[in-house]
Amino acid sequence: MSNSAVLPIATVGEKILDRQAQAVTEFDHSIQSLASDMLTTMIAANGVGIAAPQVFSSVAMFIMASRPNPRYPDAPNMSPIVVVNPHIIEASTHMELAEEGCLSIPGQRIKIWRHAQIKVQYHDLNGNLISDTLVGFIARIFQHEYDHIQGITLLERSKMSEQQPETVN
């Protein structure tokens, strides 16, 4: 990561955040370099995840790297995972309401409903297909970053989230 750069972060209103990202077709040095820069950028901004569109790159890739930090003091520790061309295969009916922040919406926290558990598939940086089941905070990070590559911002998700019935816990 010594050659990694801190990239500018797109904020709400930037067109790139409203577009669906394109699938990665070549797992080459450029995608690895982008992942390294994204991780450096996310750490510098005290994030627990970052999607390529947030750094002005319209590719279907994001990083999840939960760890306690000033923005998320109670976040669980996990090694960074680079997620390429992700899909949510299955989602629990059980939803949880929690506060989220977003590097593209500095200084704001918004309560969002998310699936408590999801089954996912994605590729790693070498193009290997990974299947996993995620729960709790890690599932929340995946869903948040997945929204970014679908062109859905936290503000849009919050409008969708308001429609969740009060009886869901």
Which residue from 50, 14, 65 is spatially nearest to 146, judged by alpha carbons? Answer: 50
Which residue from 126, 95, 93, 114 is spatially nearest to 49, judged by alpha carbons? Answer: 114
Please report which helix (H) or strand (E) contains residue 156, including its range. Answer: helix 154-161
166 noted as active-site residue: no
Binding site per annotation, positions for Fe cation: 102, 144, 148
d(CA 145, CA 31): 17
What is the crossing angle of helices 154-161 and 136-149, to 10°?
110
Which residue from 19, 14, 40 is spatially nearest to 105, judged by alpha carbons? Answer: 14
Catalytic residue among 26, 99, 100, 145: 145
Positions marked catalytic? 145
